[in-house]
Structure formats: C-alpha cells, structure tokens
C-alpha cells in the first residue's frame, strides 16, 4: 500500500514539475513576442522624430537603427547599449563606437543563438541594410569574417570609411561559455537599397 501511495505522490510531483516547466517556457516565449511588438512600436515613434523612445517604461535602452538582411530573412531593431539586459531583446551598439553611417567603426553585439544566429551563414560580399533613427537607408557590404579569442579582440574605432562590425560568441553551436568571438566586418557602400 505504501508503494502505491509513493508512486501517486511521485506522479503528482512529476506532473506539477512538468506543468511548471511548460508554463515557464510559454511565459518566456510570450514575453519575447510582446517585447518585439513593443520594440517595433518604439521604432515607429523614433522614425516619427521622437528621441530615445523606451519600448517599456523601465527599459534601459531604445531603438537606434533597423537591420535588414533579405538574403537570410533578417529584420531586427538595433538597440542602444550592449549590456546583458539589452542583448536579451536584440542586438545592441557598443556605446563608445560610432553611430550607424558615421565615420568610424559601429560595433554591434548580439547573441549567437538568437539575434545573431544568422551570422553563421554570412559570406564576404553579402549586403547588410541599415535604416538609421533619422530614416536614412544605408548599405554595407561584408568585407571580412574573423575569429578571435575573446580576451584578445582588437577593433579599430577610427576608420576612414564608415564600418560596421558585428560580434557574437563562437562557436555557434556551443553550449558552454565561448572563449572565442566571431566578427563580421562590413563597410558602407554608395548603393541605396530600400528596406
């Protein structure tokens, strides 16, 4: 009799644990969907001339640009800053780097398993389209793909041609903390492509 009772208790515990895990997964997914809707809404307000539009009242970031890579079906809002809180919602610009389209190097960070997963497939010559917070449309062409140790990354801040460098952890399919970084360096070209 005690064995039957123990089995029932274990079954209830396993059911409740499974329910909790399912709820948590659903909550995280719902939170991500709502966040993307709020980011797009904040982006529209930004394009309409508002400054530093926070997507939700407690946000420590705001949209600064939109990335479009049609070849890979990518459209993402780029956020200001690259803290963990920012990167949880999308790619972010390192504060000390140039702004998109300006002379210098714009450095954008993103997670290898979410916003920057597509970088695994990027090739030299690919076009990356950026819309600035002023509505200006820019096209960058990928010039170089680099793998560097995280402790030994060297990136120029000053460049003659406006440059954009995307950084993510490497390898892409790793499950542990990555000690390397994958860098995609692209330069601004004159071609204007609608995004």
- Following DSSP, what letter does each residue of 102-127 receive, concatenated? SSSEEEEE--TTTTTGGGGG--TT-E
- Report the number of distinct structural domains present in the chain: 1
The CA-based angle 140-104-134, given to 5 degrees, is 65
Q: Is residue 47 part of a domain?
A: no
pLDDT digits 0-9 by tens, 178-194: 889 999 999 999 655 44
pTM of the model: 0.82
Residue 86 lies in a domain: yes
Does 105 fall in a domain? Answer: yes
Listed residue (118, 98, 114) closest to 165, CA to CA = 98
- What is the CATH classification number for the domain harbouring 130? 2.40.260.10
Q: Does some domain include residue 134?
A: yes
Let me know if residue 5 belongs to a domain: no
State percent of the chain over pLDDT 90: 63
| pLDDT tens digits, one per residue of 98-156 | 999 889 999 999 999 889 999 999 999 999 999 999 999 999 999 999 999 988 888 88
């Amino acid at each position: 009799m005690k064995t039957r009772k123990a089995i029932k208790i274990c079954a209830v515990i396993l059911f409740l644990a499974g329910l909790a895990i399912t709820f948590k997964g659903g909550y995280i997914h719902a939170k991500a969907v709502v966040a993307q809707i709020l980011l797009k809404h904040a982006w529209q307000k930004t394009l309409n001339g508002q400054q530093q539009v926070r997507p939700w009242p407690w946000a420590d970031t705001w949209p600064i640009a939109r990335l479009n890579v049609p070849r890979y079906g990518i459209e993402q809002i780029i956020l200001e800053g690259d803290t963990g809180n920012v990167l949880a919602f999308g790619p972010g610009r390192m504060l000390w780097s140039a702004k998109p389209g300006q002379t210098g190097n714009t450095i954008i960070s993103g997670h290898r398993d979410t916003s920057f997963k597509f970088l695994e497939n990027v090739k030299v010559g690919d076009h990356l389209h950026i819309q600035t917070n002023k509505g200006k449309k820019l096209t960058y062409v990928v010039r170089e793909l680099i793998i560097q140790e995280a402790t030994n990354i060297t990136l120029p801040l000053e460049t003659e041609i406006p440059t954009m460098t995307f950084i993510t952890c490497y390898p892409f399919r790793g499950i542990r903390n990555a000690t390397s970084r994958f860098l995609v360096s692209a330069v601004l070209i004159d071609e204007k492509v609608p995004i």
